[in-house]
Structures are given as C-alpha cells and as structure tokens.
C-alpha cells in the first residue's frame, strides 16, 4: 500500500558540508539552476560570463531559492564531455564570487572527483552527481571525507549516448533497484545516509512514457527513507507533450512541478525560481488541504 502524502512528507534532514542542515518534508525546497556553460539546453551561454552568473544567482536567492546548483558541463542528451581543467576554469571564479555573496548552500553539478574537490574547497556544500558516483571511482571518497551532501541520480550510459539506451523491463522498478544499489554503495564508501538524497533522473535515458511513469509513481522511491529531488524544468518531454520549444515551456514545467510536489518530491530543481516558487507553494496548499504559515 503506497504511503499517504502526509506520511511521505514527514520531516527529514539533509546534512551537507559546512554544517548546513536542510530540513526537508514539510516544505518543498527549490534548487535554482545556474549553468556556466555555452551549450546547456535551456539557457546555454546566458550565464557563461562571471558577472552575469553571479547576478543570476543573487536574483534566484532573492526569489526564494533554497540551494543554488552550479554546473559547468552540459549533460543534455548528446552533450560531449568537458575536459576536467576546462570545467574547473569555468567554475572557479563563479564559486569564489558566490562564496562571498550568498549564504544559502551551493551545489556543484559534476561527475568528476577533482572538480568536486575544488568546489568543496571553495565552500560548496553539495555534490550533484548525475552518474551516482559511477563515473569517477574517487568521487565517493571525496564526498565522504568532506561530509558533503550528495545527490545520487539515475542515468544509463553517458549524456552523449544515453538516449540510445532507453530500454527497461519496468522503468519504475528498474530505477528503484538502481537507486537502492547506489544508496547502499554510497554508504559502503563511508557516506552517511543523512548526506544522501535521490533523483530518478527525469529525461536521462528516458523516453516520454517513461518520464511520465516515473513522475506518476514518485511515491515508490519513498521506501528508502531519503528525500527526493526532481528535475523537470523545460525538458524535452514537456516539449513533446506541448509542441513548444525550450523557450516556451513554462506552463508545461509548472504542471510537471505541481505533479512532483503532489507525488512527494522534497526538492524541485528549476530554472525559473520566482515562477516556480508560486507553483510550489500553491501545490503544497492543495496537497495538504491548508495554507502553510
């Protein structure tokens, strides 16, 4: 029997580096996306310049972001890998500036242990690893030693080829088994359970019907007792459903974020923080049957 919404939204803690402890469950947190890349699918090139990146981060904080997730390597379908030194070159000045100007936790979106280590040394609190610690054998040790928060996401293969590998016997159960295995592996590497959140990887090696199935059955992943982060913002499945290009997917994103909140997501990862703040707060009130003070 699936857990009720109220049971699934009991308060949990996410322990991150720098003594940040995020309370999750009663209020859905918003992770604002900051891509310092020339080629990300939604906003590639807009914040590649350091002053523009810093200004956008500050704007997202003002709009109510709880975490800023900074990435310097696009992981959109078909994206080529970025060399380690180039990824660090893009990230370092932005992280140095943000560490002096914003107080909320910062996450680094990377698969590489050396990049994660550099970011953690600059005050980053969370590592968002789309490979769930599989791409770089040293990543687990870096996270464990720093006592950083970590996001373990489901993906098959690598971004360049992942959309060629979308076969599943049962996408929900296959992703469930993957996340269970990665959670246990992370703990075996010395990462405490309270440092870990899970991400079903919407849009990563998934076709339209598979993304919809995962969103419709998010409650399945609550069995692990760890918070869920869900990223649907402006993704291609929304474009397929609506016929809209990436610059016109705000309403489709709002519907997908609402579904994620109603189904038990603890964190939503979004581009448009101000707009999604309204969506999340409304969805929570409808889910809970009352307005949260």
Helices (DSSP H) in the chain: which residue ranges?
5-8, 50-62, 84-101, 113-121, 139-146, 171-188, 208-216, 236-242, 250-262, 273-288
Sign of CA dihedral 200, 201, 206, 211: positive
Helix (H, G, I), strand (E, B), or coil: what is residue 178? helix
Q: To 10 degrees, what angle do helices 84-101 and 113-121 make?
A: 20
State the catalytic residue, choosing from 76, 235, 249, 263.
235
Helix (H, G, I), strand (E, B) or coil at 265: coil
Helix (H, G, I), strand (E, B) or coil at 119: helix
Phi, psi of 231 (to 5 degrees): -115, 110
Indicate if 235 belongs to the active site.
yes
CA distances from 71 to 34, 38, 97 (A): 6, 11, 15
In contact, 80 and 107? CB cutoff 8 Å: no
Active-site residue, from 90, 176, 249, 269: 269
Q: Angle 280-129-172 (CA atoms, 0-180°, nearest 5)?
A: 65
Q: What are phi and psi of 118, to 5 degrees?
A: -60, -45
Do 88 and 115 meet the contact criterion of CB atoms below 8 Å apart?
A: yes
User: 3-class DSSP state for residue 274?
Assistant: helix
Annotated catalytic sites, by residue?
235, 269
């Amino acid at each position: 029997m699936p857990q009720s919404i109220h049971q699934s939204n009991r308060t949990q803690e996410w322990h991150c580096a720098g003594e940040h402890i995020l309370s999750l469950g009663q209020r859905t947190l918003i992770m604002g996306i900051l891509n310092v890349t020339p080629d990300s699918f939604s906003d590639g090139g807009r914040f590649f310049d350091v002053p523009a990146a810093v200004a956008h981060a500050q704007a997202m904080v003002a709009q109510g972001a709880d975490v800023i997730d900074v990435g310097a390597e696009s992981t959109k379908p078909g994206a080529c890998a970025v060399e380690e030194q180039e990824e660090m070159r893009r990230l370092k000045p932005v992280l140095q500036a943000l560490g002096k100007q914003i107080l909320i936790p910062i996450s680094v979106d990377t698969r590489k242990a050396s990049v994660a280590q550099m970011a953690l040394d600059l005050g980053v609190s969370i590592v968002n690893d789309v490979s769930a610690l599989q791409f770089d054998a040293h990543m687990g040790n870096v996270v464990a030693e720093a006592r950083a928060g970590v996001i373990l996401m489901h993906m098959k293969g690598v971004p360049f080829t992942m959309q060629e590998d979308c076969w599943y016997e049962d996408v929900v159960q296959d992703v469930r088994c993957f996340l269970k295995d990665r959670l246990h592996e992370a703990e075996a590497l010395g990462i405490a359970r309270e440092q870990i959140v899970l991400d079903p990887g919407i849009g990563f090696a998934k076709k339209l019907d598979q993304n919809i199935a995962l969103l419709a059955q998010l409650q399945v992943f609550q069995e692990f007792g760890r918070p869920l982060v869900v990223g649907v913002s402006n993704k291609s499945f929304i474009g397929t459903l609506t016929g809209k290009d990436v610059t016109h997917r705000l309403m489709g994103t709002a519907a997908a974020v609402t579904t994620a909140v109603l189904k038990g997501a603890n964190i939503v990862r979004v581009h448009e923080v101000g707009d999604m703040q309204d969506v999340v707060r409304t969805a929570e009130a409808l889910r809970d049957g009352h307005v949260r003070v």
